Amino acid sequence: MTSPKPVQKRPLLVAVLLIYGVLGVWYSLVVPPFETPDEPFHYAFARHLAQGNGLPVQRPDEEGPWAQEGSQAPLYYMLTGLLTSAIDQSDYAALATRNPRANIGDPLYPGNKNFMLYSGASHAMRGANLA
């Protein structure tokens, strides 16, 4: 009597991971910088740590550039800051100009849904956009 062959799960796992990776890269190329939910705040927290400033202090009367994300568990942000610290992010101020007319959070209200203002410049994967 022969034993049944084990189900080959590895090719399926590789296929799922490959599709996930391709979709992730595609999403990062299609969505403008800092438009995904809370991205500017996650970025600010990781950058703050990467610059050697330590954990952000959350005060009820003062909101830092990391907003509520400054209260998150810091390991992810420490690792992200470490991985992106070698990237020149001096263009962040030019990329991260908030849209004062943005209507965020109310899908039924017509209006401008862009969180940031954008110039005609390319959103290539470099500088703060790469980080």
Total of domains in the chain:
1
Q: Which residue has the higher pLDDT, 38 or 22?
A: 22
Domain membership flag for residue 117: yes
pLDDT, mean of residues 82-89:
90
Domain limits at 51? Answer: 33-130
The reported pLDDT for the residue numbered 34 is 84
Which of the 8 DSSP states describes residue 68? G
Domain membership flag for residue 114: yes
How many other CB atoms are found less than 10 A from the CB of residue 12?
10
Domain membership flag for residue 126: yes
Q: Which residue has the higher pLDDT, 130 or 81?
A: 81
Domain membership flag for residue 99: yes
Domain membership flag for residue 102: yes
The reported pLDDT for the residue numbered 77 is 94
Domain membership flag for residue 1: no
Q: Is the pLDDT of residue 84 over 80?
A: yes
Domain membership flag for residue 22: no
The contacts of residue 119 (CB under 8 Å, 6+ apart) are 94
Which of the 8 DSSP states describes residue 36? S
Between CA 125 and CA 131 the distance in angstroms is 8
67 touches 58 (CB < 8 A): no
pLDDT, mean of residues 88-102:
82
71 touches 58 (CB < 8 A): yes
Domain membership flag for residue 12: no
